[in-house]
Amino acid sequence: MRRTTRLRLVGALAAALVTAGLATGPGAQASPRQPTLAELAQRHGRYFGSATDNPELTDTAYTALLSREFDMITPGNGMKWYATEPQQGVFDWTNGDQIVNLARKHHQRVRAHTLVWHSQLPDWLTGREWTADELRAVLKRHIQTEVRHYRGKVYSWDVVNEAFNEDGTYRDTLWYRTLGPGYIADALRWSHQADPHAKLYLNDYNIEAVGPKSDAYYQLVKDLRARHVPLDGIGLQAHLALQYGYPATVEDNLRRFSRLGLDTALTEVDVRMLLPATEEKLAQQADWYRDLTSACLAVRRCVGITVWDYTDKYSWIPAVFPGEGAALPWDEQLRPKPACFAIRKALAGK
């Protein structure tokens, strides 16, 4: 064989191996492709998750990345009350099941979200008055039916979502108004009965830093623990905004909950900004994602991080905060942003 032909063949073989994800050449044994966020997180015994929503699942480029990059999935809407019990006693698992099945197919776990919330409730529930006994029975049935349906299929439940006001007082919701603060312990007990292995969480926003709202959770957790109410973790949603500053005490805050014997997790992370996004803002956003990631890694019982969807294409922000957005680590074209590289670096310990 002539030398040039041989060289061409060797070159073609090397190119094929590179395309197949196998490195060639001296010293290039390992690291055939870039590790995923999930793989990097697993090296620390953590997960890296994303929320998703049913309408997005027809977008195949989107689902390919969702299935590859993450090892924990949260249904953004599919397990909420309006979706799962649209009429009293009539349960619909279509949307939740679709996401659980997709996750299982890709060996991903599921953070189930959410059983007791004041928002996205069906009209039959909000459109009339209930006595405490009636509402307690409605809540118990909803929780037990839904948790039983997903028993053994989900890693955790956000049992109660957003129970407190900013000043640390109880939020005035249908649940609190009608049942008093005891609805939280009841909801946790019913959930535990229905699936003793699911990790049970309370979850809220603006509790990243130490402050009146996170203090309220701290007190509540102490109280629930003292009464042996089943509770495994506290979810810090972490919907941050560049214009409001970084919650500098997040690591201390995670640590104090750990010391109470609880898991913690960053459950709905996004970092929004006033549009347009500039290079400078994207760099600051990357620093915040890096710092959140490092804070979780620094606290032993911070079990993982979930972004509230991974791409700006499907972020909830622009619809709710006009003029704001660009909050997620991948852009609208599914291209990784500086935030994505910053998370990767923090997880890789660089």
Binding mask 318-347 for ligand 9MR (x = CB under 6 A): ------------------------------
Q: Are strands 239-241 and 233-236 parallel, antiparallel or unpaired?
A: unpaired
Binding mask 230-249 for ligand 9MR (x = CB under 6 A): -------x------------
Asked if 115 contacts 158 with a C-beta cutoff of 8 angstroms, the reply is yes
Q: Is 332 a catalytic residue?
A: no
Q: b/e for 195-213, b at 16 or more Cβ within 10 A?
A: beebbbbbbbbbbbbbbeb
- Judged by CB, which is closer to ligand 9MR: 238, or 346? 238
> By rule CB under 6 A, what count of residues binds ligand 9MR?
10
Q: How far is the CB of 58 from ligand 9MR (least distance, A)?
A: 16
Candidates 55, 219, 79; CA nearest to 161 is 79
- Judged by CB, which is closer to ligand 9MR: 130, or 205? 205
What one-letter code names the amino acid at 143?
Answer: I
For ligand 9MR, the binding residue among 119, 169, 243, 278 (CB under 6 A) is: 119
Distance CA 251, CA 48 (A): 18
Which residue's entry shows tokens 């599921």? Answer: 110
Site for ligand 9MR in 297-316 (CB under 6 A): 316
Cα dist. 258→54, 221, 263, 298 in Å?
A: 34, 11, 6, 12
Catalytic entry in 69, 85, 162, 208: 162
Asked if 336 contacts 311 with a C-beta cutoff of 8 angstroms, the reply is no
Q: How far is the CB of 16 from ligand 9MR (least distance, A)?
A: 43
- Judged by CB, which is closer to ligand 9MR: 108, or 206? 206
For ligand 9MR, the binding residue among 120, 126, 243, 278 (CB under 6 A) is: 120
Binding mask 262-281 for ligand 9MR (x = CB under 6 A): ------x-------------
Q: How far is the CB of 21 from ligand 9MR (least distance, A)?
A: 34
Candidates 132, 130, 133, 122; CA nearest to 88 is 122
Distance CA 46, CA 28 (A): 28
Binding mask 204-223 for ligand 9MR (x = CB under 6 A): -x------------------
Site for ligand 9MR in 35-94 (CB under 6 A): 53, 76-77
Q: Are strands 263-274 and 324-325 parallel, antiparallel or unpaired?
A: antiparallel
Structure tokens at 86: 């649209």
Q: Is 85 a catalytic residue?
A: no
Which residues belong to the active site?
Answer: 162, 268
Binding stretches for ligand 9MR (CB under 6 A): 53, 76-77, 119-120, 161, 205, 237, 268, 316
